Each structure stands twice: as C-alpha cells, then as structure tokens.
Amino acid sequence: MNELFVVSASPHVRGKMNIDLAMRLVIIALVPALSYSVFLFGIRVLIITAISIGASVACEALMQKMLGKKITVTDGSAVLTGLLLAFNLPPAVPLWLPAIGSAFAIIFAKQLFGGLGYNFINPALAGRAFLMASWPLFMTKAWLAPANGTLSGIDGITSATPLSLLKNAANYGDPSIIVRQLNDFDTIKNIFFGNIGGCIGETSALLLLIGGLFLIIIRVVDYRIVVGYLVSVAVLVFVLPTKGTLMFHLFSGGLFLGAFFMATDWVTSPVTHKGRWIFGAGCGILTIIIRIWGGYPEGVSYSILLMNVFTPLIDSLTKERVFGELSKKKGVKK
Amino acid sequence: MKSPALIFLGAFLVNNIILMRFLGLCPFFGVSTAVKIATGMGMAVIFVMTLASWITWAIYHAILLPFDLVFLRTATFILTIASLVQLVEMFLKKSYRVLYNALGIYLPLITTNCAILGITFLNIDNKFSLLNGTVFALGTGFGFTLVIITFAAIRERLDLAPINPSLKGYPISFIAASLMALAFLGFSGLFGLT
C-alpha cells in the first residue's frame, strides 16, 4: 500500500492529437491537390500560394505582437488559412491580391476576435468573400486553361468554367447541346480528374476526395458534416430543377474542397453531433440554391460562410441535456 | 409586377434591412446582447412594421395623394406611426396582457426607428399595393428577426473570447456585423432580385 494515487479533475485519458499535429495533417492532405494544380496551371500557382501563406503568417505574428499575445505562428493554423485562401483564388489573379486577402482573413476575421478558437467565421472564406466584394473581376475572370485541356472541360469552349457554363449556357451557343456536352461522360471524367479550369485548389475532385477521406479516417475531420453536406446536395439535385446531373454537381466547382476542408473547420462548425448534421445539410441546401437561382455560378464558399454565421445559434439550439439536469418540458423524468 | 413570394424573399434575405440596407442599426446593436432579448425585439419589429405599413398606406392614398400633400409625407408618417403604436400599446395593456408582456419594452423602443419609417417610404416608392406592402413589411420584419437572433447568439459567444479591451463590446460587434454582411452577399442576385 505504498503506492500513491494522484487525485485530479477529469479528463484522465488524453489523446495524442493536438492543434499542431492536426493542422499539419490537414496541410499534408492538401498537398496532392496543390501539386496537381502546379502541373495544370504552372509555377504561378506556387508563387500565389507562397505569397498567401507568407502574408498570412506575417500578419498573424504582427497582430499577436501588437495585441501583446504569445506568438503562435508555428502551430500551422495561419499557414493553413493562407493555403486555403490560395486554393480559393483563380490562378491568374495579380500577385498582390492573395496578400490583401490573407491580411483581411487573419486580422479582421481571426486575430481581432481573440485568435485561434474564437473566430466565428472561417478566415480563409472571409478573405475570399472580401476579395470577391472588392475585386469581382479578378475573382471571376482570371482563369487559366489547364495544361492539356480547356477551361470548360469541353473541346472548343474555352471561355467559361463548367459551372458558369451551366448557368449561362445560352451565351456560348445552343444551350441544349452545351448542357448535354456538360453531362457527357468525357466531360464528367475531365471534371473528376481535374482537367478543367477553376480556382487553384478546386479542380481535381479525385485528389481532394483522397485527402478528405484520409482526414476522416484519422478523425481530424468529422464525417457528419461531410456526409450531411454531400447527401443534401445529392438529394436536392434530384428534387430541384437543375440542368446538371448528380455527378456534375458533386464533382464540379469547389464542393469537395468546401465539404471536406472548409465546412469541417473545428472552430466555426457546431460542437454538437445533431448540430453538425444540421450544419452540413444547411451548407448543401444553400449551395444548390445559389447554384440554381443565385447570382453566382458557385455557392460553396457563401453557403459555408452563412452556416458559420448560424453556428452559434445552432449550437445553443441543439444543446444536449446535461446528465442529471431536469428536462424542461416534463419536469422530473421517470 | 413581382409576385408576393418574391417580394417576401427579397425583403427577407436579398435586401436584408440590417445587412444590406443598413437601416435599424440602433436596435440591432443595442438589443442584441442575448438571444432571448433579441427575439422579443424581433417580434416587436414584425408587429410594428406591419401595422405601420397599413396605416401609412391608408393615409398616403386617402389623404396625402388626393390633396396633393405628398411633401408632408415624412412629418405625417412619423407622427402617425408614433401615436398609433402608443395607442396600440395602451390597448394591448388593457386587453391582451400576454402579448403586451411578450413585446414589453421593445414596442415603444422601436416606434421611432428609421427602419420602420424606411419601410413605409419604400412601400410608397415601390408603388406597392396594400397586399404587396404587407408582404414586404412582413418579409423585412422577419429578416430583421433572423439577423438579430443570429447576431445575438454570436455576441453571446464573443463575450467569452479574449478580445482586446479596446475592442470589447461595440467595436468588435461592428466588425462581426460587417463579416455577417459579407456572408449575406451570397444571397445577392438570388432569383434575379436586386
């Protein structure tokens, strides 16, 4: 009986996962998509990404210094924000654009609110929305054609990405032919493997899928949000009047990038399980509504931003009853 | 002519009174410290807005227009809205105590707000019929309620964050509201509404 017992408050068993490791794993999961993008659009992609990450890290360090906090740029969260912002930019944007976007993301969406863990809105997406509102031309026109293909994934049409082609088919020729071509097996194949134009990180659905599944398997990313998101998109494609097929809507645009890597951000998504299902489904519904009836060809980034805004409310509405707490309606539960 | 459903959606989301038109910001920031209070405020706004759109529509079309007194619009509307709401408040206090308690202090608070006056003007400027004007007022009121409740939930969370003392309270709330407006830009152009 010489052994001493340590008496302490819970938790008593700790996992190995921490912020540093999780951020590094997410970055690793994004590297295949980034490398493929460099192959598609050239070295420019790497320069944009480097500027975005550099500005993001520099702003984080500067803000933490100014606010008198501990400088924590080595945790990788600023690197990830910069990387995700770069993934959301068209490849031909001027080089100062990512720097401004990163600065807005880190300063206004993250650090002023108290830094990592306290931002209510996804910083990278806030940066993208800011750039979209300020320089819409760069954000919607600065596309590049991929190395061995066309911007639209269809031979002969070189001036629109698949989603904007679907939205404004009449501007590029006979709409019925274009829609049929878009839903063609060859086009879907191009979209799935990423042989199309688009934002830096969104083109290859396959590589994003691999990275995303890796994160789900090691449980960095919660499957509830991803499944809720993709399933609600799939259901709505059948229910609502859209010209695109299921495969087209799932693989095109930034859906996989958003569903696997941005909607699942730990800080800006709900903590309750029920809340995560609601969050995912809400993202899916808003995405499809914007794609079909909205003012933009793609709705992923705004749908996630809007659900970020609703997250605190979802959390408080789906709060679980604490063990021992009386139920509100029935009083004492038998 | 737009259908009532589109008018409702336009007022509710696309041209949200807070995040797109920037009207009614004082109750939005003043009464959004907790979800419960914000809900009461939202209900009061829906109630007063609908009431105000009716009375001003009647006055405009029955008195101001026939007698060529349109230049008196602002003064007339402010006076009638304020006195009407006071009257309704007294009536509610006597007859419908439950509703009076639910709307409580927010009813007189919202009476002289720019959002209410703004909606009555927009009703006139858009040449809305009584039905469309009602739908527009309801949509705007529900849009206000949605945004203020969501914002209150965000602010409840901001209270717990280690925000720099110089930014605590209203400054960070304004930044949060601007980010919300950025997110609501996603609705712009929805159903071709501008």
Q: Which of B37, B147, B164, B166 should we substitute to test contact with A (largest number of A Cβ atoms within 10 Å)?
A: B164
Structure confidence at residue A328 as a pLDDT band (50, 70, 90): low
> Which pLDDT score, from 0 to 100, does residue B1 have?
56
Chain centre distance of CA B7: 15
CB contact under 8 A, A294 and B35: no
> Which pLDDT score, from 0 to 100, does residue B138 have?
93
> Which pLDDT score, from 0 to 100, does residue A80 have?
93
Is the CB of residue B149 less than 8 Å away from at least one CB of chain A? yes
Q: Which of A286, A313, A318 should we substitute to test contact with B (largest number of B Cβ atoms within 10 Å)?
A: A313
Structure confidence at residue A334 as a pLDDT band (50, 70, 90): very low
Q: Indicate whether B20 belongs to any domain.
A: no
* pLDDT over 70 (residue A330): no
Residues 6+ away with beta carbon under 8 Å from A260: A208, A209, A211, A212, A215, A216, A221, A226
* pLDDT over 80 (residue A41): yes
CB contact under 8 A, A296 and B186: yes
* pLDDT over 60 (residue A229): yes
Q: How far is A54 from chain B (nearest CA, A)?
A: 23
Looking at domain A19-149+161-317, does it have CATH number 1.20.140? no
> Which pLDDT score, from 0 to 100, does residue A123 have?
93
% pLDDT > 90, chain A = 41
- Residue A50 sits at φ, ψ, to 5 deg, of -60, -45
Q: How far is B9 from chain A (nearest CA, A)?
A: 12
CB atoms within 10 A of CB A92: 14
How far apart (Å, rounded) are the C-alpha atoms in residues B34 and B36?
Answer: 6
Q: Indicate whether B8 belongs to any domain.
A: no
Per-residue DSSP letter, B126 = T
Give the largest Cα separation in chain A, rounded.
87
In this structure, what token pair is assigned to residue A170?
């009449």
Q: Which of B33, B154, B158 should we substitute to test contact with A (largest number of A Cβ atoms within 10 Å)?
A: B154
Residues 301-320 of A with CB under 8 A from B: 301-303, 305-306, 308-310, 312-313, 315-316
Give strand pairing partners of A331: A327
Among A166, A119, A131, A124, smallest CA distance to A268 is for A119
Domain limits at B64?
26-182
Of A114, A118, A126, the CB nearest to B179: A126
Q: Indicate whether B42 belongs to any domain.
A: yes
- Give Cα separations from A29 to A70, A196, A221, B131, B188 (angstroms): 28, 21, 11, 55, 33
> Which pLDDT score, from 0 to 100, does residue A1 have?
59
Is the CB of residue B170 less than 8 Å away from at least one CB of chain A? no
Domain ranges of chain A: 19-149+161-317
Unique residue bearing structure tokens 């308690």: B101
* pLDDT over 90 (residue A203): no
CB contact under 8 A, B161 and A118: yes
- Single-letter amino acid, residue A239: V
CB contact under 8 A, B150 and A313: yes
- Digit-coded pLDDT (tens) for A44-83: 899 999 999 999 999 999 999 998 888 888 888 999 999 9
Of B156, B161, B191, the CB nearest to A113: B161
> Which pLDDT score, from 0 to 100, does residue B142 have?
94
> Which pLDDT score, from 0 to 100, does residue B149 have?
93
Q: Which of A67, A111, A113, A116 should we substitute to test contact with B (largest number of B Cβ atoms within 10 Å)?
A: A113
Is the CB of residue A279 less than 8 Å away from at least one CB of chain B? no
CB contact under 8 A, A312 and B179: no
Q: How far is B184 from chain A (nearest CA, A)?
A: 7
> Which pLDDT score, from 0 to 100, does residue A156 have?
67
Spell out which residues of chain B touch residue A312, defining contact as CB-CB under 8 Å. 150, 153-154, 156-157
The ipTM is 0.87
Chain centre distance of CA A159: 25
Q: How far is A63 from chain B (nearest CA, A)?
A: 11
Indicate the range of A107-121, A166-180, B161-175 predicted with least confidence. A166-180
Q: What domain count does chain B have?
A: 1
- Digit-coded pLDDT (tens) for A1-38: 577 777 778 777 777 788 888 899 999 999 999 998 88
* pLDDT over 70 (residue A306): yes
Q: HSE on the CB side for A176, CA within 13 Å?
A: 0
CB contact under 8 A, B172 and A113: yes
Of B149, B175, B186, the CB nearest to A112: B175
Among A31, A68, A61, A65, smallest CA distance to A46 is for A31
Is the CB of residue B186 less than 8 Å away from at least one CB of chain A? yes
Spell out which residues of chain A touch residue B175, defining contact as CB-CB under 8 Å. 108, 112-113
Give the chain A residue nearest B188 (alpha carbons).
A295
**Low-confidence residues in chain B, pLDDT < 70:** 1, 194
In this structure, what token pair is assigned to residue B115?
């959002």
How far apart (Å, rounded) are the C-alpha atoms in residues A194 and B184?
Answer: 30
| Average pLDDT taken over every residue of chain A | 86
CB contact under 8 A, B163 and A112: yes
Is the CB of residue A164 less than 8 Å away from at least one CB of chain B? no
CB contact under 8 A, A113 and B158: yes
Q: How far is A333 from chain B (nearest CA, A)?
A: 26
What is the rounded radius of gyration, in angstroms, for the C-alpha atoms of chain A? Answer: 21
How many interface pairs between A and B have CB atoms less than 8 angstroms apart?
91
Q: How far is A315 from chain B (nearest CA, A)?
A: 9
Of A112, A126, A294, the CB nearest to B167: A112
